[in-house]
Every structure is written in structure tokens, then in C-alpha cells.
Amino acid sequence: MTRPHNAPESARSVALDTLIKVLKEKSYSNIQLNRALKNSDLSDRDKHLATQIVYGTIQYKLFLEYQIEGMLKSKPKEDFVIPLLLLSIYQMDFLDKVPTHAIINEANELAKQYSRGGSYKLINAILRDVDRSEMKLPDAKNEVEYLSIKESMPVWLVEYLIKNFRIEKAKDMLASFNTVPHNSIRINQALTNVPDVVEELEGEGFETEISKVTPNNIVVNHGGVVETHLFQDGYITIQDESASLAVEALKVEPDDYVLDGCSAPGGKTIQIAETLKQGTGHVVALDIHAKKLKLVLENAERMQVAEQIEVKELDARKSSSYFSAGKFDKILIDAPCSGLGLLRRKPEIRYEKSYQDVLNLAKIQLAILSDVAPLLKPNGRLVYSTCTITLEENELVLAKFLESFPQFEVEKIRLDNVFGDETGLRISPEDYQSDGFYITSLRLRG
């Protein structure tokens, strides 16, 4: 159910339409929201409000549901009821600049527009009950349940973080996942440099800060860089600071022949290509979906590095059946993973993933590594990375790989601003307020 055609458009109606699709159809929030905003006539201010409401409501879904626990006698028949209640309570508790009476009045109007029955009466009654009472939390003595509701994280994940990273670090990680993600851009070093980009961005009204993670990334104070000529002409691209480190660890040389085994949407493929010398350096980008490889090529054209890139529709677990042994100087495996390092950027992941998913993905990751390993030249470098925080997908995959391939050794990662240890480089989400990431660099002994 979506907004009737004759109903007025507002930030909250766009947010509600988006949340109905995300919560009912399990759609990705960023895709649905971007589509809704693109098709709307909202002002920039209202687009910002709609974005804040959508992401905030998804982030705090468990907390918001806890506030109305016991208030609904049965599951509402109309799809909009729960999303409207949640987004309204989110505003009441987290958006201080919006008066509560205005939030409730807007919710009543939306309920009247969307409802085919008397659901607006239920909406009004529940929101007024919530307004009259304080926001609820479980007893803090039950640490897991308390943190699960407070930070809106599934119980299994709270238990996992406490078990593996100690309680204080777990609390810091959980809290960091609900903070606003950085707007991070990476410089195309083949075309420009950081000082020139900073000067131009600041001339267009952006506030900039050089990333604390890597000097090749710039953090800007708001979105909108995709509208600049710098982005459209390929001088910059949107890429998280931590994600940029995987290619930096690969230490690509201009004449290298490189395999990017899990490439789409192509950010790291393009980062590799920027270092390669046209005509001699080359990167082969694999993915199992042809549509995603098309996106890689489109991004490569914009970034002016398409001539250095070849795409191949292929499952990385079958690489050795297509490529000959010892073919590549460098291999990057930015493996499919649970994505738990991206929770502040993709909040719905927390509700979709389970510990069993982690175990299943770890098997796939190990299979990919095992299949590409013979394709590396002696003294070549294999970098394995994930955007997740679990040991099973990171250090334990590495340990199992080395058991089967003792001819590989771990290299300590030493980059401009960050350093790894004997098991690799782990960026925790609260370290720099960037994505959570794991990277390990392996050299094949000659």
C-alpha cells in the first residue's frame, strides 16, 4: 500500500512509502529511498528530513517496536500502520526540533490518507499513549536484552560481540553503528590530487577534511558530490575510507596483471586500474552477475580507466578452470560477506543476517581463496578483505587457508596511517567512524 495519487507529498509521506517497501518487501533502504527521492518534488531540506526518518526508523526498529509492545491486540490489517507508528515515535524521541503535537497531527493526516478503514483512530490513540509515558528500556541488569533494545541490535549479535570483543568494546561498537556515516570520497590519482580537489570542493560550498584513515580520501560535510563535475568527469568517486585500504595494501605496480575476483560494483577494480599503465597494466574483474559487470564498466568509463579493465562473468570459485596457473602478479579477493561492518550505512542488515549466515559465508570465502591461490605468480601478493567484523569470516578463514596453503605467508600491512599485525589489519567501526573492515595481505613464497 502506498500513498494515494491525490494525496499531498511531504517528507513524511515519502518516508512512509519507503518504509512500507523496506519492511514488507525486505528491499534495500538505500535503493528504495534514492528512487523515492529522485521521483519526488521535495525541497533539499525535506529530502534530508525524509532520509533522516527512513534511516533512523530502520536503525532503531527494535527500540521503537518495544515502545508499542502490548498496545496492539492483533496484527493490523493495513500495511502502513506499523511503519507509520514507528517513524512517528522515532521523530518524537530522536528529532528534538519537531514538536510532538505536529508529529501526531501529521501521523493522523497520513493515516486518513492511507487507511480504508478507521486505522487513523488507532494511530492517534497509540501515539498519545506513547507521548504520555517515558520511553521504555529493559532492566539494565539483563545486559544482553538491554543493549539489544537500546541499540536496536538482534540478541545474537549482541551476545557475539560481548563474547568475542569484551563488554566495553562491544558497547562502543554497538553505539557506533547508530551514528551518521561519513560522506567519504576517494581521489582518482591518475587525474588529479588532493589539494586541487579540496580547493574546488570548498569553492562549491563543501566543508572538507582529509581522512584519518588514508590521505587519498576526503570527508565532506554533506552529500551532493555526485552533482559536481569532479564526480561526473571521474576525478573523484564515492568510497568509504576503510574500503580504500584493500587496494592500497595490494601495492599495485604500473605493469601488473591483476585479478579482482569479486569486483562489482567496481570501486576497487577502478582503484586498481588508476595505478596501471595504459597498454601494459591490466586488471580482470570477475562477478557472477552480468548486470553488475555492466555497472563496473560504466563506472570505469566515468573514471577514465576502462581501457585497463576486462570483465568476465565467472564465479571466483571456478577461476582455476578458466585461468592458467601463475598468471597474475596480484590478486584481490574482496569477498562476499555478512556486511556487518556496514551497519551504519545499511541499517537493515542487522535484522536480516544470522550467525548461520556468517558460517555459510565463511565456507564460500575459503572456497574462493583456495581456488584463486594457484593463479598467483611466485612472490605475488594476494589480498583478502571483507566489510564485516566477525572472526569466522576474517581471522579464522585466514587460519584455515594457511593450513591448506603453507606456501603463503602473511605480510604485515604498513600503510600511510594504519598498521596491521600478524593476522592482518582490522578496522573496527568505532575506531575512525568509518566502515568496519578486515584486510590481510599474503605473499606466495618464490
**Residue tagged 580504500 (cell numbers):** 244
Task: Report the pLDDT value the prediction gives residue 1, as an integer from 0 to 100.
Answer: 52
Beta carbons of 9 and 36 less than 8 angstroms apart: no
For 152-167, write each residue's pLDDT tens digit: 999 999 999 999 999 9
Using omega within 30 degrees of 0 as the cis cutoff, is the peptide bond preceding 181 cis?
no
Sequence-ordered alpha helix ranges (H) in 329-394: 349-352, 355-372
pTM (whole model) above 0.85: yes
For 73-96, write each residue's pLDDT tens digit: 888 888 899 999 999 999 999 998
For 183-240, write each residue's pLDDT tens digit: 999 999 999 999 999 999 999 999 999 999 999 999 999 888 999 999 999 999 999 9
Distance between CA atoms of 193 and 427, rounded to whole angstroms? 25
Catalytic residue among 284, 387, 391, 427: 387
Distance between CA atoms of 229 and 236, rounded to whole angstroms? 9
Beta carbons of 331 and 401 less than 8 angstroms apart: no
At residue 3 the predicted structure's pLDDT band, cuts being 50, 70 and 90, is low
pLDDT at 25 over 80: no
**Residue tagged 551518521 (cell numbers):** 180
**Residue tagged 589539494 (cell numbers):** 195
What is the average pLDDT score of the chain?
Answer: 94
- Mean pLDDT calculated for residue range 297-312: 96
387 among known catalytic residues: yes
At residue 27 the predicted structure's pLDDT band, cuts being 50, 70 and 90, is confident
For 364-412, write each residue's pLDDT tens digit: 999 999 999 999 999 999 999 999 999 999 999 999 999 999 999 999 9
For 104-121, write each residue's pLDDT tens digit: 999 999 999 988 877 778
Sequence-ordered alpha helix ranges (H) in 27-80: 29-38, 44-59, 61-67
Question: Which has more pLDDT, 332 or 26?
Answer: 332
Strand order in the sheet with 236-238: 208-210, 217-220, 183-187, 236-238
**Residue tagged 580547493 (cell numbers):** 199
> How far, CA to CA in Å, does 296 sit from each of 128, 162, 311, 312, 313?
50, 38, 8, 11, 12
- Mean pLDDT calculated for residue range 416-424: 94
Distance between CA atoms of 256 and 331, rounded to whole angstroms? 10
- Mean pLDDT calculated for residue range 411-439: 95
At residue 7 the predicted structure's pLDDT band, cuts being 50, 70 and 90, is low
**DSSP states of 204-265 as a string?**
TT--EEE-SS-TTEEEESSS-GGGSHHHHTTSEEE--HHHHHHHHHH---TT-EEEESS-TT
At residue 169 the predicted structure's pLDDT band, cuts being 50, 70 and 90, is very high
pLDDT at 415 over 90: yes
- Mean pLDDT calculated for residue range 118-129: 88
Distance between CA atoms of 168 and 184, rounded to whole angstroms? 28
pLDDT at 32 over 60: yes
pLDDT at 5 over 60: no
Among residues of the chain, what percentage have pLDDT more than 70? 98
Task: Report the pLDDT value the prediction gives residue 381, as an integer from 0 to 100.
Answer: 98
Task: Report the pLDDT value the prediction gives residue 17, as an integer from 0 to 100.
Answer: 93
Task: Report the pLDDT value the prediction gives residue 120, as an integer from 0 to 100.
Answer: 78
Task: Report the pLDDT value the prediction gives residue 115, as an integer from 0 to 100.
Answer: 86
Least confident window among 114-123, 126-135, 179-188, 241-250: 114-123
Distance between CA atoms of 243 and 234, rounded to whole angstroms? 18
What structural domains and CATH numbers belong to the chain?
Answer: 11-132 (1.10.940.10), 143-176 (no CATH), 241-444 (3.40.50.150)
